[in-house]
Amino acid sequence: MEDDREKIFAAIRRGLRKDQHSDTERDGRSPLNTPLFADFQMRFEKFSDELVKLGGEAYVFSDYQGISDFLLEHITDDAGVFLYDEIREKYDRALSELKSTRAYKLSTDFENGYDKRDVAAFGSAILPCAACIAETGTIVLRNNMRLPAALATRLFVITEPARLIASLDELFTEKFRDAGGSNLFLVTGPSRTADIEKELVTGVHGPKEVYVIFHKE
Amino acid sequence: MTEIEARHFKELYKKQIVNDQLRANLSKATLQAVDSRGESFKEVDFEFLRKQAKMIREESVSHLNQLLSQFEDHARENGCKIFYAETPEKARAYVLDVAMKNNVNLIVKSKSMVTEEIELVPFLSGKGIETVETDLGEYIVQLAKEKPSHITTPAIHKSRTEIAQLFHDKIGTEMNNDPKFLTAEARRVLREKFLSANMGISGANFLIAETGDAVIVENEGNARLSTSSTDIHVVVTGIEKVIPKFSDLRIFMRLLARSSTGQKLTSYVSVLRGPRREEEKDGPREVHIVLVDNGRSSLLGTEHQEVLNCIRCGACLNVCPVYRNIGGHAYGSVYPGPIGSLVTPMYFGEKNAPDLPFASSLCGNCTEVCPVGIEIHHQLLSLRNEIVAAKKSRIERFLFKNYRKTMLRPGRYRMMGRFARMFSKSALVRRMMKQWTDYRDLPEFPSQSFREMYKSGKLN
């Protein structure tokens, strides 16, 4: 089907002849009223505060047993766990008990593609992340499977302290712009809506629970 | 020109303004949104963000041809198919064509004002393709066979009891008006739709020229599912949504959610760069981006160009005393409130919405909260001026011409004053001015002018 590109561009050119601006000089300052958070502890406190306000939770564990106990405590159903392969490789010691007691699948089990109903059946998904943002309590995902994080009832992210960045100013930079892949997803707390009389309800389509674990060695 | 309901604003608002339930719902919802907005801006410098956002949007619109072209090149490199549509008909035909070629029978759609503008859902449904709105508010209004009444909270006009009754009647849920229960029911029904659908449609809040990305912000997760759970994803958006740089998102992300819902950031932001890559195991195999003009380019170079800077946050609706009393449906347009009163006549023609620019108290609240610094109330005034000038009412022109002459000539002014004092008490004159006096006072003129009183010494 022939589109209207030329017609639209001609109309734009006609209009813009009357009103041309020069390029805008960006002001690179941060708009935050408080200074940026210097060390991990300060950033974590801010991140955790923001996430808790939204209904999520954030923890720091320095041992694998702590992570293992946490996961066993929070994954109590038999709906199955989706485990991102990168997580399995890094945190195998923390996952051994979970794997022996809960049904799970690895991302590598879906090497040849999958039916979305298979992924929708998982109750929990455990994923790595590209970054976390202290300013807003946000998780930044750039994985090669989009749906587990969108369909699971509980979302767990396990990551290292170095991935916790201070603010959105650090996210929207060349580093993340040029990281490759077809998508960058920002997740800020559980899925939510206030469409019925402005009453906040979590878990409308995406995860109802969101947990972020920092493994501090 | 397709006729739209906005043409009948005067009848529509009279129906809505007497609906006490509607006014109560609106008042509660909008005041809560205003409070949350105020709270959310405490942590950031609003004026700094607004200034930056305004500059970036002005740059975007005034370089629209270059930026669109740049966006198009990068989006194609990313594997997207780009289609420009001058009219709603053309955009609808393209989306239908994509659906037909891929034997699509079920489409999941996330919230998009442009798809409302071009009436895409009724069109596709009319062609036998089930098209389901998946944003909870949009789903509610779709079930009710209504139109959204707010840009970001489409079912703001409906109470929980009305929604419970609607769900009971349409999807067979038990009568329970708890929002948690109703939301869970919607999740259950819509989850099945996501798993069965073979095409997804979304809008885009921003298009990034330097990367070819489409950026979508939302809270529910339905846009993520609409854009990722099917083999085909179609983005339908306006040509003005393009911004120059990825780094500009640091400004807009901080402004949009705060202005819209009082959040620091929405629950989800998807930055989408074309179809799935070889190493990716899900995501769409085809991504189409439909760029709709529908009157936007005609605003370039006019004094209304700044209206194209709008980022559709809905903040102006929440603070508008007129919107708060009559609600979105009274405007008879997919774009209600102050910004709707501007955009509707501009996109759909002044003849389709001759009264909307007058649906404002010109209090300026809208301008004060606009995150991209659009002078909304000045724009409304300017549009009023154009509409009045185009009407060329002989009586009005005669009266204003004489008013001007009277104010310029003292003798004539004194004479007219005497006439006014003589006839203002007349019952006949008052009857003739009924249309004016029905809504406003016409005070009685004093028997003498100030000058006469002064001369006679009455003021001493």
CATH (domain of A80):
3.40.50.10420
For chain B, say whether A36 makes contact (Cβ under 8 Å): no
Of chain A, the percentage scoring pLDDT greater than 90 comes to 64
The answer to whether the CB of B43 falls within 8 A of the CB of B264 is yes
Given a cut of 70, whether residue B1 has pLDDT beyond it is: no
Reported as a single tens digit per residue, the pLDDT across B320-347 is: 999 999 999 999 999 999 999 999 999 9
**DSSP letter, residue B107:** E
Q: Which residues of B are less than 8 Å from A190 in CB distance?
A: 267
Rounded Cα distance between A71 and A83, Å, is 12
- Across B310-345, b (16+ Cβ under 10 Å) vs e yields bbbbbbbbbbbebbbebbbbbbbbbbbbbbbbbbbb
- Does domain B44-298 fall under CATH 3.30.1330.40? My reply is no
Q: How far is CA A145 from the centre of its chain?
A: 12
Hey, where are the domains in chain B? 1-39+317-366+376-391, 44-298, 394-455
**What is the mean pLDDT of the segment spanning A40-69?**
96
Whether A150 sits inside 8 A of B277 (CB atoms) is: no
Rounded Cα distance between A103 and B111, Å, is 36
Which residues in chain A (118-137) have CB-CB distances under 8 A to chain B?
Answer: 119-120, 135-136
- Among candidates B155, B211, B263 on the partner chain, residue whose Cβ is nearest the Cβ of A177: B211
Whether A8 sits inside 8 A of B86 (CB atoms) is: yes
Q: Is residue A29 part of a domain?
A: no
Q: Is residue A25 part of a domain?
A: no
What pLDDT does B421 receive? 85
Whether A31 sits inside 8 A of B45 (CB atoms) is: yes
- Give A96→chain B minimum CA distance, Å: 26
Which residues in chain A (74-103) have CB-CB distances under 8 A to chain B?
Answer: none
Mention every residue, 6+ apart, whose C-beta is less than 8 A from residue B397: none
Q: Is residue A27 part of a domain?
A: no
- Helix residue ranges per DSSP H, B215-336: 222-228, 249-261, 315-318, 321-326
Burial of A78 (0-12, 13-18, 19+ CB in 10 A): exposed
With tokens 């003009």, the residue in question is B293
Whether A15 sits inside 8 A of B301 (CB atoms) is: yes
Residue of A nearest to B154 (CA): A195
Label residue B460 by pLDDT band (50, 70, 90). Answer: low
Whether B283 sits inside 8 A of A169 (CB atoms) is: no
A27 HSE (CA, 13 A, CB side): 14
Quick one: which of A15, A106, A160, A2 has its CA closest to B94? Answer: A2
What pLDDT does A132 receive? 98
**DSSP letter, residue A32:** B
Q: What is the ipTM of this complex?
A: 0.95
For chain B, say whether A50 makes contact (Cβ under 8 Å): yes
**What is the mean pLDDT of the segment spanning B382-407?**
86
What pLDDT does B458 receive? 79
The answer to whether the CB of B212 falls within 8 A of the CB of B74 is yes
Quick one: which of B206, B290, B78, B118 has its CA closest to A3? Answer: B290
Domain that holds residue A210: 38-215
User: What's the token pair of residue A130?
Assistant: 């590209």
**SS3 letters across B141-180:** HHHCCCCCCCCCCCCCCCCHHHHHHHHHHHHCCCCCCCHH
First to last CA, chain A: 58
Whether B301 sits inside 8 A of A201 (CB atoms) is: no
For chain A, say whether B236 makes contact (Cβ under 8 Å): no
Which residues in chain B (268-307) have CB-CB distances under 8 A to chain A?
Answer: 268-277, 279-283, 291, 293, 297-302, 305
Reported as a single tens digit per residue, the pLDDT across A104-114 is: 888 888 877 78
Given a cut of 70, whether residue A54 has pLDDT beyond it is: yes
Per the structure, how many domains does chain A have? Answer: 1
Label residue A170 by pLDDT band (50, 70, 90). Answer: very high
The answer to whether the CB of B190 falls within 8 A of the CB of B139 is yes
What pLDDT does B432 receive? 80
Whether B153 sits inside 8 A of A32 (CB atoms) is: no
Rounded Cα distance between B40 and B47, Å, is 14
**What is the mean pLDDT of the segment spanning B244-265?**
97
